[in-house]
Every structure is written in structure tokens, then in C-alpha cells.
Amino acid sequence: MKIFLDTGDVEAIKRAHDTGLLDGITTNPTHIAKTGRKFQDVVKEICGIVSGPVSVEAMADTAEGLVNEAQKAAQLAPNIAIKIPMTVEGLKAVPILEDKGIKCNVTMVFSSTQTFLAMKAGATFVSIVISRLDAVCNEGDILISDAVTIKRNFNFSSNVLAASLKTQNHVLSCLRAGVDIVTVPEFLFFQMYKHPLTDVGLAQFARDWESVPK
């Protein structure tokens, strides 16, 4: 399972990238707005740090507009992927862009039927936004399991991307389901390294090491 960081914070990306375990980045207009910087400047800097896919959002509301916007954004760096909305117009744009070699990340997917349509359209990534499902008492773990099943049943090539994870239980559900990619914030990325028993065990080893004759 690949790990993408969900952020526009360049310093956070550098910290995660330095671990050697980061595979890509997803951003959105909210993340970019928080930086207070120009969209192009932020995206170019991120793409210079991370060699894996960097997803940026297209905001047009027609297929033609999405294609035009995506083509311009894709010129910023070779590892750009384009976030496309889960709409009729969005899925019209997907095969056009994929045929041009521009990877599409269909986003705001909240049902199994939406998942199927996004995969059928040929999207490279299908993003199921787990935290938003949890907020309205829907069971995200069932949907990601369904998504993996749909991919397998119909031999689709899309990557199942579980987006906006907020807890280690979310990560665990994704590992069990066999999703291809998760996107996490920086705090969760580094939280995954931690366990209290690890801290206790290492502290004990450190104390015992001091008593070993040198």
C-alpha cells in the first residue's frame, strides 16, 4: 500500500519525504489557500521534492473546461495528476485526459456505484473520502472493501485511493481491505511510527545498556 501526504505544506512534505516512505502527494484548494502563495509556485516546489504523483484540483464545471485546465496544470511538472470531480462532466473529461497521458484522480467519491463509474471511465486514481463519510455516520470501511472488490471483479486498472484518513484505525481498515493508496495528514503519517510498548521497550534497553561493562 502506498502512502500519500494530503497537504500543501512544503515543509511537512520535506519532513515526510526524508523518511524514504512517502510515495506521493494530494492537494486541494483549501490546502493551497492556507499557504498564502501562488498555486503554480507551490505546486512546482512540491513536484521538485516528490518524484511520485502530485494531485492538484481542476475546478471547471464542464468537461471542456476541465480538460483545458488540466492540460495547463500538467505542464507544470511531469508527475502532476489532476483531481477531477465525481460528476457527469468530470467523467466525460477523464478518458480524454487519460488518452493524452494525463493521470486523473476522481475525487469526492462516496458510494460503490460512483466508484464503479469512475473506474469504468478509466481514472488512474479513485479517491474515496473516508473522513467525510465518518462525519455523516456512513461506514467508510465497507465502501473501501467494496471498491477493492469492484476493481477485482471487473479487472479495472484504477488505483483505489482511501483519502483524508484521520486515525490509525482508518489505516488499519485500508490495510485489511487491500486498498492501493492512502492519503494522510502529517500528524498521522508520523503517528504510525509510534506505540507505547516500543517506547517502553527501547527505554528499558537503554537503561540496561548503561549497566553493561564497556
pLDDT score recorded for residue 117: 98
User: Hey, which residues are catalytic here?
Assistant: 83
Kindly give the confidence (pLDDT) of every residue in the chain, 214 residues in length, as a single tens digit, with 9 standing for 90 and above: 999 999 999 999 999 999 999 999 999 999 999 999 999 999 999 999 999 999 999 999 999 999 999 999 999 999 999 999 999 999 999 999 999 999 999 999 999 999 999 999 999 999 999 877 776 656 778 899 999 999 999 999 999 999 989 999 999 999 999 999 999 999 999 999 999 999 999 999 999 998 888 8
CB atoms within 10 A of CB 173: 21
Residue 151 to residue 90: CA distance in whole angstroms: 20
Specify which residues 183 forms β-bridges with.
4
Q: Rounded to whole angstroms, how far apart are CA atoms 127 and 103?
A: 13
**Backbone torsions φ then ψ of 179, nearest 5 degrees:** -65, 160
Contact 90, 108 (CB under 8 A): no
> Which residues lie closer than 8 Å to 86 by C-beta, 6 or more apart?
106, 107, 108, 109, 110, 114, 117, 118
Q: Would you state the pLDDT for residue 138? A: 65
Nearest to 151 by CA among 131, 172, 183, 181: 181
CATH number, span 2-210: 3.20.20.70
Provide the whole-model pTM.
0.92
